[in-house]
Structure 1
Amino acid sequence: MTALHEPSTATGTADQAARHLWMHFARMGGRGPENPIPVITRGEGVHIWDDRGRRILDGLAGLFVVQVGHGRRELAEVAARQASELAYFPVWGYTTPAAAQLAERLAHLAPGDLNRVFFTTGGGEAVESAWKVAKQYFKLVGKPAKHKVISRAVAYHGTPHGALAITGLPKMKQDFEPLAPGGFRVPNTNLYRRPEFADDPEGFGRWAADRIEEAILFEGPDTVAAVVLEPVQNSGGSIPPPPGYFARVREICDRYDVLLVSDEVINAFGRQGAPFACTKFGFVPDMITCAKGMTSGYSPLGALIASDRVMEPFLRPGVTFPHGYTWGGHPVSAAVALANLDLMEREGLYDRVLANEGAFEATLRTLLDLPIVGDVRGDGYFWAVELVKDKTTRETFDPEERERLVRGFLPGALFEAGLYCRPDDRGDVVVQLAPPLIAGQAEFDEIAAILRHVFQEAEKIV
């Protein structure tokens, strides 16, 4: 074991990481000089640089996070000022100016009467908090049997045990079972995989929403506490909602007294061209979960935003919500978030996304002439290209082909070609694109050119 602060005997950062760093969602075996861990050393604007000095286009905004781009010195300076004034104090019965100001700011940005903000340090914690709020809420209002949560197939909602129980990805859960009981799944809104509705997207929206009502009735309305949905579903490949879908879901939740949670950990803060995507898609949820773009990644922060209706029983005499996080509402993160939101508004990034989303889509759709490209879908600055084995039948790849393509070829080939993005097969095989919101047509063209070259090579191996 290396003593604290003792210089490492490793030959470089990649070697240090191979010896000591436990990476997230990554295979750890076989790392070493022959297969080094990529080392990212700095970022500026829409680009990152590795330790070999190569410039790479950040086509995923880090992890759907860096809305305003890398290297924004003003955000670093805000963090330094706040840390020098008050680096830390909890919101466990206390507040700081930054936390109070940010809570007010988020309440003003959120739709309807979503006026109460519970801070976390990330998105999974926000989803975990939403389920706990829903359970306690119904106990406080005299409906203690309502505890179940309905979410969608393939949807990812986080890694804590509660959030993982809401997640609709069986392979992500199997190693950690048994999980918290009470999570149930309904079909998602991937129109490409429901070709019978190709000419009737509104009908598809009604069909998909009605599956939620069906699940509520099957489980029993007196047992279902919440429905948790992303406005644009991440896993499965940037799946947008069909027309009328959320209006119907809202109607169903109201009918059966079920709380509607809009999981906007990725979708919020401009990714879809609005502070909150639920506003863009025309519905007001009972709770919003958010994180990522709130600070553009310059400091970790997440939040649950609840409506006045949800908050009311928690304001009754003697009631406590026995839940919290040491770093929730951290004053440095809150100060950075305020500055980040100022910057986004000052530079018109919400409007920029709305103005450019059609061009981004059109540029990606030029790839549809490739035999391996089956679908292009998404919204705002959040898109996915679905790869298929047979374009006519929409046949996807078998497990061996997925291994070769998604883990063996695409990540390295894309990175070597100068593009960081996300090949994924948690649903069907997709490559996701979500660049910083400062990106424009030049970046769209570069993304498409690199994808075209790499996809043509991918066709040869599958």
Structure 2
Amino acid sequence: MTLAEKPAPDAVTAGRNAADHLWMHFARMGRYAEKPAPVITRGEGAYIYDDRGRRILDGLSGLFVVQVGHGRRELAEAAARQAETLAYFPVWGYAHPPAIQLAERVADLAPGDLDRVFFTSGGGEAVESAWKVAKQYFKLLGKPTKHKVISRMTAYHGTTQGALSITGVPAMKQDFEPLTPGGFRAANTNIYRATQHADDAEAFGRWAADRIEEAILFEGPATVAAVVIEPVQNSGGCFTAPRSYFARVREICDRHDVLLVADEVITGFGRHGAAFASAKFGLQPDIITCAKGLTSGYSPLGAMIASERVIEPFLADKVAFPHGYTFGGHPVSAAVGLANLDIMEREGLYQRVLDNEDGFRATLDRLRDLPIVGDVRGDGYFWAVELVTDSATKAVLDADQRERLVRGFLPSALFEAGLYCRPDDRGEAVVQLAPPLICGQAEFDEIEQILRGVLTEAWSLL
């Protein structure tokens, strides 16, 4: 009997097969020997379904990815048409129509003169590419000592050796050290726990930006190639920043001849009601990294978008960028990307986010009456609820409480209650929410009601 002829396994068997053969990402594999892994079988709109037939609201868009929702036949058909025409060819010195058309489309959406698109398979590869470009860029300009990168504390930028070195989460790096040298950290924009200018957002923004300049000066401007920031920082729980911050960071990078990289792997393609959140927040980077929402996850694709300033030395005679990925700019993925952007434009999803973000904020703000909720923060369709043991003092969960709640109770309790989202403690303990852009008030209410019930139970466990 072939694999295709075998009957579908029941729920328990499927979960056990996963434990026996599938090495899941970021997962404690040993736990599945006793309790089968959840198995997701299909998606429709804003919902996913497991192998027990349960319907669960996808409150994280898979992984900040599925902007247009699940089950869009138009995207599947775009992939099929392209696969029949040209399923694969590399962009290693060659081009094909889907990559050409998508590069032009993305360049048109990018802010300023960012109009050169280097395709990757995903976001971590895009960040890796940006660092390599920054290093070679300065070598081509006769400044070979400029190689370091300043990023922010707690920020996550990927898992490859280079991107992980840029990542500001020590616990994620310790098992893989020594990493690529050159990654250094500055303060992030967590105003909820600020000790400086906590009551003045604009002053706090300038203070936080000045910490980046402090790091550049400490390392020596002649050694720093790039500053990498997210318009809204994911890890730590949706840290936003005032416009004063972005303007000051741009000034600092210009003053010290440092490239400014906006990591928009999560924030790009509508998550904040714009093609790129940089434009919404008044940030003009030299490079943007993106992925996820570019195809809504229907096919893997990422990109690094560079400005004319960055590409210029690479256009000189006999100069190449000796870097690439087998599946970067894959024809099927590029075709899906084009169809995905068509849907976003036709359905007005960017404007939908802008129209609904205040409603989402207000709905989540209802949770502030719970004693376990310390802060609700974010922007667009990207929010975090920070958990505390005392909302008046902002007392954090200790290590045992994090283990019991963030890794133990919350993921399964939320899922069982009908909500898939992300309990996380790479900074303080938070629950993160990033639903598909097709969602509205009905889904916001459902998210709030489920969170209210589960967080009330979580408080009793504390």
Give the TM-score band, short-chain normalised. over 0.9
Partner of 1:87: 87
Partner of 1:240: 240
Moved over 4 A (4+): 2-11
- Aligned mates of 2:222, 2:115 — CA distance in 1: 27
- Aligned mates of 2:31, 2:109 — CA distance in 1: 47
Partner of 1:401: 401
Query: Could you tell me how far 1:4 is from its partner in structure 2?
Result: 8.5
- Aligned mates of 1:422, 1:188 — CA distance in 2: 21
Percent identity, aligned pairs only?
A: 75
Partner amino acid for 1:138? F
User: Is residue 237–residue 430 contact of structure 1 (8 Å, CA) maintained in 2?
Assistant: yes
Partner of 2:333: 333
Secondary structure at the counterpart of residue 29 of structure 1: helix
Secondary structure at the counterpart of residue 31 of structure 2: coil
Partner of 1:27: 28
User: Is residue 201–residue 243 contact of structure 1 (8 Å, CA) maintained in 2?
Assistant: no
Partner amino acid for 1:360? F
Partner of 2:370: 370
Tell me the alpha carbon deviations over residues 131-172 of structure 1, each in whole angstroms, 9 at most, x when there is no partner.
000000000001100000000000000000000000000000
- Aligned mates of 2:31, 2:45 — CA distance in 1: 33
Query: Could you tell me how far 1:3 is from its partner in structure 2?
Result: 10
Query: Could you tell me how far 1:243 is from its partner in structure 2?
Result: 3.4
- Aligned mates of 2:217, 2:198 — CA distance in 1: 28
Query: Could you tell me how far 1:8 is from its partner in structure 2?
Result: 9.7
User: Is residue 189–residue 242 contact of structure 1 (8 Å, CA) maintained in 2?
Assistant: no
- Aligned mates of 2:373, 2:214 — CA distance in 1: 34
Partner amino acid for 1:101? Q
- Aligned mates of 1:5, 1:184 — CA distance in 2: 50
Tell me the alpha carbon deviations over residues 286-325 of structure 1, each in whole angstroms, 9 at most, x when there is no partner.
0000000000000000000000110001000000100000
Query: Could you tell me how far 1:198 is from its partner in structure 2?
Result: 3.0
Partner amino acid for 1:299? S
User: Is residue 385–residue 432 contact of structure 1 (8 Å, CA) maintained in 2?
Assistant: yes
Partner amino acid for 1:31? Y
Query: Could you tell me how far 1:242 is from its partner in structure 2?
Result: 2.4
Alignment of 1:111-130 (within 5 A): 111-130=111-130
Partner of 2:261: 261
Partner of 1:208: 208
Stretches of structure 1 lacking an aligned partner (at least 5 in a row): none
- Aligned mates of 1:219, 1:155 — CA distance in 2: 19
Secondary structure at the counterpart of residue 313 of structure 1: helix
User: Is residue 243–residue 282 contact of structure 2 (8 Å, CA) maintained in 1?
Assistant: no
- Aligned mates of 1:195, 1:459 — CA distance in 2: 27
Partner of 1:140: 140
- Aligned mates of 1:294, 1:326 — CA distance in 2: 19
User: Is residue 372–residue 390 contact of structure 2 (8 Å, CA) maintained in 1?
Assistant: yes
Partner of 2:304: 304
Tell me the alpha carbon deviations over residues 240-294 of structure 1, each in whole angstroms, 9 at most, x when there is no partner.
1123100000000000000000000000000011001100001210000000000
Partner of 1:97: 97
- Using the size of structure 1 for normalisation, the TM-score is 0.98
Tell me the alpha carbon deviations over residues 170-229 of structure 1, each in whole angstroms, 9 at most, x when there is no partner.
000000000000000001001101155232110100100000111111110000000000
Stretches of structure 2 lacking an aligned partner (at least 5 in a row): none
- Using the size of structure 2 for normalisation, the TM-score is 0.98
Secondary structure at the counterpart of residue 252 of structure 2: helix
Secondary structure at the counterpart of residue 178 of structure 1: coil
Query: Could you tell me how far 1:390 is from its partner in structure 2?
Result: 1.2
Secondary structure at the counterpart of residue 231 of structure 1: coil
Distance 1:450-1:9 versus aligned 2 partners, 3 A rule: closer
Partner of 1:288: 288
Tell me the alpha carbon deviations over residues 370-409 of structure 1, each in whole angstroms, 9 at most, x when there is no partner.
0000000000000000000111111101111100000110
Alignment of 1:1-20 (within 5 A): 12-20=13-21
Partner amino acid for 1:23? M
Partner of 2:185: 185
Tell me the alpha carbon deviations over residues 96-155 of structure 1, each in whole angstroms, 9 at most, x when there is no partner.
100000001111110111010000000000000000000000000011000000000000
- Aligned mates of 1:407, 1:166 — CA distance in 2: 25
Partner of 1:156: 156
Paired residues, what number? Answer: 460
Query: Could you tell me how far 1:15 is from its partner in structure 2?
Result: 1.5
- Aligned mates of 1:156, 1:208 — CA distance in 2: 18
User: Is residue 8–residue 16 contact of structure 1 (8 Å, CA) maintained in 2?
Assistant: no
- Aligned mates of 1:274, 1:255 — CA distance in 2: 29
- Aligned mates of 2:71, 2:100 — CA distance in 1: 27
User: Is residue 202–residue 245 contact of structure 1 (8 Å, CA) maintained in 2?
Assistant: yes
Query: Could you tell me how far 1:30 is from its partner in structure 2?
Result: 2.8
Partner amino acid for 2:408? G
